[in-house]
């Protein structure tokens, strides 16, 4: 196996990336570089000084198996307990009347957001709720079935058929996936003036049964899109502590990774890296566009361009075209163009033409040497602040990691 394909086992959870960045608007830029280019400078940075992990490394392919972003689930609520028909009887009180208790209700199945989860891999294909207990003699009611909580990651969309029935996008969000059946009635329930000795009792009802489709739409603030080999994963490694695989061949990244950039004011910005997109991806070329669901909810985008490639400006046009094919208007989100690999000579030559063709400023940097990373980090913070302010103005709580 090529060493470039190897993965730190610390990033076993495919979407977990914990950056330890602290950034002051002006002062800490020097420190930034220390952290971003650990191999160039000898460092006193705590994070960079860590010993490399000795855990077994996982390849991207293996890691893909741990990451599941859609699941079909059959849920069945618990059955209600049966009511009982019996009569009270004790010495010297032979006809004590009906005393059959009601059955307990079946337990519901509830989907609940768990912030620790990053994929749907722990969700099983079927769940059966807890049944309620049958009623008993002496008016004893059966115990209701306990609630069954199914933890799901934040950003899970619940569909039934083609209809979206729930969007679990905030910590603690819950959705009752299947109701438990009602408990049956004991014969005591049917006691009436005109019927002093009812023998009727009813059985518990079966729980609700549903087939649901869960779909994960990763919640990150920023989404990185680019052609294969543009250096998206290298950039995520450089600005956060996420450890996506990096290698010199296309489609190294097979599933999304999220890295967290920490700022000095305790702000955390989650940046998602998704597989590369090529021209014609909407016709299922390359890895297609299905994984774009993971950047659909990002507030702003980073278009990562390989500046050393011939005519890099066409990459931005193609990316915007493909994004719009996936979802109209997606390319119009606030964005910044990142021109990567500025350390290479042909990249420097391409930069002025790229700026002119785009009609907007591109941030030229190198994910490998760490050159100019601070400009990107400051721009990300600006875009994040604007997005958070826009959210607040619309009365929505900004996403917090
Ligand atoms: N010289 C130079 N090489 C870079 C730079 N950034 C990335 N690379 C190299 O480009 C190649 C691809 O990098 P990746 O980070 O895997 O690219 P990617 O965009 O994630 O690729 P996919 O996952 O396949 O979409 C690797 O060999 C990197 O070492 C850079 O700034 N300068
Ligand atoms: Mg990659």
pLDDT for 171-187, tens place per residue? 889 999 999 999 999 99
Ligand with minimal distance to 248 CA:
1
Assign domain 67-217 to its CATH architecture.
Distorted Sandwich (2.70)
Ligand nearest to the CA of 252: 1
Domain with CATH 2.70.210.12 in the chain: 67-217
Ligand 1 neighbour 246 (Cβ under 6 A): yes
Q: Identify the CATH assignment for 222-393 out of 3.40.50.300, 3.60.60.10, 3.40.1410.10, 3.60.15.10.
A: 3.40.50.300
What's the whole-model pTM score?
0.73
Name the segment(s) of the chain with CATH classification 3.40.50.300. 222-393
Q: What angle do CA 336, 342, 344 make, to 5 degrees?
A: 150
Per DSSP, helices labelled H in 230-293 are: 232-239
Residue 63 has a pLDDT of 61
What ipTM was predicted for this assembly?
0.98
> Higher-confidence residue: 108 or 32?
108
Return the best residue to mutate from 229, 237, 242, 258 for the ligand 1 pocket (most ligand atoms within 8 A of CB): 229
Ligand 1 touching residue 252 (CB < 6 A): yes
pLDDT digits (tens, 9 = 90+) for 294-351: 888 899 999 999 999 988 999 999 999 999 999 898 889 999 999 999 999 888 899 8
Phi and psi at residue 298, to the nearest 5°: -70, 140
Q: What is the CA radius of gyration of the chain?
A: 29
Token look-up 């009982």 returns 84
* Substitution site in 3, 228, 231, 339 for ligand 1 pocket (most atoms within 8 Å of beta carbon): 231
Per-residue pLDDT at 274 exceeds 50: yes
Sheet strands (E) in 126-195: 126-128, 148-152, 156-160, 163-168, 174-178
Task: Take atom 21 of ligand 1 and give the residue whose Cα is closest.
Answer: 229
């Amino acid at each position: 196996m090529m060493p470039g394909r190897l993965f730190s086992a610390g990033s076993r959870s495919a979407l977990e990336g914990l950056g330890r960045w602290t950034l002051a608007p002006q002062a800490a830029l020097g420190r930034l570089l220390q952290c971003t280019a650990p191999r160039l400078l000898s460092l006193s940075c705590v994070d960079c000084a860590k010993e490399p992990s000795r855990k077994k490394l996982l390849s991207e392919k293996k890691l893909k198996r741990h990451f599941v972003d859609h699941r079909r689930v059959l849920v069945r609520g618990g059955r209600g307990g049966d009511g009982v028909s019996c009569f009270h009887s004790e010495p010297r009180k032979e006809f004590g009347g009906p005393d059959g208790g009601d059955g307990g209700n079946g337990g519901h199945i509830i989907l609940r957001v768990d912030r620790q989860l990053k994929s749907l891999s722990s969700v099983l294909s079927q769940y059966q709720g807890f049944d309620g207990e049958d009623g008993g003699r002496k008016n004893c009611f059966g115990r209701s079935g306990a609630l069954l909580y199914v933890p799901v990651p934040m950003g899970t969309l619940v569909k039934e058929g083609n209809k979206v029935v729930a969007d679990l996008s905030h910590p603690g969000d819950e959705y009752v996936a299947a109701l438990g059946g009602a408990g049956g009635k004991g014969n005591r329930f049917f006691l009436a003036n005109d019927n002093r000795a009812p023998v009727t009792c009813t059985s518990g009802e079966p729980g609700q049964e549903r087939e649901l489709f869960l779909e994960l739409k990763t919640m990150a603030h920023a989404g990185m899109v680019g052609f294969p080999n543009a250096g998206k994963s290298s950039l995520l490694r450089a600005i956060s502590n996420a450890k996506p695989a990096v290698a010199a061949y296309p489609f190294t990244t097979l599933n999304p990774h999220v890295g967290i950039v920490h700022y000095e004011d305790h702000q955390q910005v989650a940046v998602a890296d998704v597989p590369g997109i090529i021209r014609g991806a909407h016709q299922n070329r390359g890895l297609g566009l299905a994984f774009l669901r993971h950047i659909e909810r990002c507030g702003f985008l980073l278009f990562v361009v390989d500046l050393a490639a011939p005519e890099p400006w066409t990459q931005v046009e193609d990316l915007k075209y493909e994004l719009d094919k996936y979802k109209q208007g997606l390319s119009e989100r606030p964005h910044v163009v990142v021109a990567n690999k500025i350390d290479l000579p042909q990249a420097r030559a391409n930069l002025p033409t790229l700026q002119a063709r785009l009609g907007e400023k591109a941030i030229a940097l190198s994910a490998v040497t760490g050159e100019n990373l601070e400009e990107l980090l400051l721009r990300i913070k600006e875009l994040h602040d604007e997005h958070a302010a826009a959210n607040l103005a619309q009365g929505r709580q900004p996403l917090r990691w």
